[in-house]
Structure 1
Amino acid sequence: MSQPTPAALPPAAIAKALAIAIVSTALLAACSPADDAAEPAADVPAVAPTPTAADEVAPEPATPAPVAAGGTVGGDGSQIVLDTLTEADVTGANLQGELACSFSEDGRPPLLHAVGVVGSQDPAQGVVKVAGYVEPVRAPGGFDGMTQNPTFTGQGKTIRIEETGAAIGGGESPPRPATLTYLRADGASRTLEGRWQCGP
């Protein structure tokens, strides 16, 4: 049997064939690679950018306590000034006691002078000269309380004496190497090296 030629097809068959061709072309266009490329890849994880040195902020260093001239540390930064005591300073203080102790630097006149009564619990009485002003200080335990690492207190101040070595030389009351640490009420401090000597 011979196949019919296109001219022999009825108009309805031609129309149906054209409709199938148009739908097929539309479906192919809808599934083209261009559409696939337009959609984001949902399976690809987002990658955070690597931080650079400019992004990192170093922590600020702790601010050191201010250090004033003369070795004063902390407080408002002003210097703790201890002057040597004159004989008139000590006499004018009218200190009451039997035996004395004093702190001095390199054989100079004392920076602190105090007296106390042996075997007494009455506080030892002393004086220091701060920035030109003679000021009173006290230590518990009388004279005996001053012989080993005493602590003196006064208005706005605490003064600690700490022996740092053996007695120097002989005699009844040889001096000992020691430090004097002056602590001010605002947190400032200053430590001096010298000698602590107690006795007649």
Structure 2
Amino acid sequence: MKTRQDLRSLFLSATAIALALSACSSQPADDKAASASYDGSVAPESKAAETGPPAIKPVDIPTRGGDGSPIELAALTEADVGGAKLTGELGCSFAADAAAQPLLIAKGNVASQDPARGIVKVGSTTETISANGGFDAMAKGTKFFGKGLQLRVALTGPAQGDGESPPRPATLTADRADGAQRVFAGLWQCGP
């Protein structure tokens, strides 16, 4: 049977742990109450109405694993895209934000099982990539395969805006054949 002193010690220990954990938090308590996420929690109604959809927080998880060298994906230029001569009815692209040049572009046909084809620039080299399932599979996020690299696009939130092809928050995870991995956050946009 626990004594009153034992219960008091237990309570003080639990309180100290809770305070320590809250002090380690990287986000102030006021920001936590005002932010919204797509894991089921939402911003308080007054804040959500004032601010609209939550802003995309830039996340770039550095390269982990592998031989220690970083996975570098560079922005594609108009010359890169034009030189690739991608074919397909519709396309998708991944960029850090709406104003940035894309890191990945791919095109595919609607209602087709033919692979979608695209490009990505690894360091200074433009590499071809492909994904199974054509355009329809790409629109919902997919896996692309290239030389020694797998790229996974995962949608992380609802469309940002209206129109035929609004961008959606997403992550791009690059897995290199040597076990290295890097995660980029940005926007995935598909359409004409």
Shorter-chain TM band: 0.5 to 0.7
- Give the CA deviation at 1:155: 1.0
Task: Return the structure number with greater relative CO, CA threshold 8 A, min gap 6.
Answer: 2
Equivalent-residue separation in structure 2 for 1:104 and 1:153 (angstroms): 18
Question: How many residue pairs align between the two structures?
Answer: 132
- Give the CA deviation at 1:70: 7.1
Letter of the aligned partner of 1:167 in structure 2?
A: A
2:135 is the counterpart of 1:135: no
2:89 is the counterpart of 1:98: yes
Equivalent residues of 1:70, 1:79 under 8 A apart = no
TM-score, with structure 1 as normaliser:
0.65
Q: CA RMSD in A?
A: 1.2
Letter of the aligned partner of 1:182 in structure 2?
A: A
Percent identity over paired residues = 58
Equivalent-residue separation in structure 1 for 2:61 and 2:189 (angstroms): 24
2:153 is the counterpart of 1:161: yes
Please identify runs of 4+ aligned residues in structure 1 that moved more than 3 A.
Answer: none
Letter of the aligned partner of 2:136 in structure 1?
A: D
2:181 is the counterpart of 1:177: no
Higher gyration radius (CA): 1
Equivalent-residue separation in structure 1 for 2:110 and 2:73 (angstroms): 28
Equivalent-residue separation in structure 2 for 1:87 and 1:152 (angstroms): 21
DSSP-derived class of the 2:183 partner: strand
DSSP-derived class of the 1:78 partner: coil
Please give the residue correspondences for 1:18-167 in structure 2 after superposition, counting only pairs within 5 Å: 71-107=62-98, 108-167=100-159
DSSP-derived class of the 2:82 partner: helix
Letter of the aligned partner of 1:83 in structure 2?
A: A
> Unmatched 5+ residue regions in structure 1?
1-68
